[in-house]
Structure 1
Amino acid sequence: MADKLPIDAPRWPQADGKVKTSAAWLMEHSGIAKGEKLAGAQISSKHVLALSNSGSATADDIIELAKMARAKVNEKFGIKLQAEVQLIGVDLN
Structure 2
Amino acid sequence: MQANLSCSKDGNNKESRGALVVLEGLDRSGKSSQCSRLVSYLEGQGLSAELWRFPDRTTNVGQMISAYLTNASQLDDHTIHLLFSANRWEK
With the length of structure 2 as denominator, give the TM-score of the two structures.
0.36
Higher helix share: 2
Between structure 1 and structure 2, the one with the greater Rg is 2
Higher strand share: 1
**Which is bigger in relative contact order (C-alpha 8 A, separation at least 6)?**
1
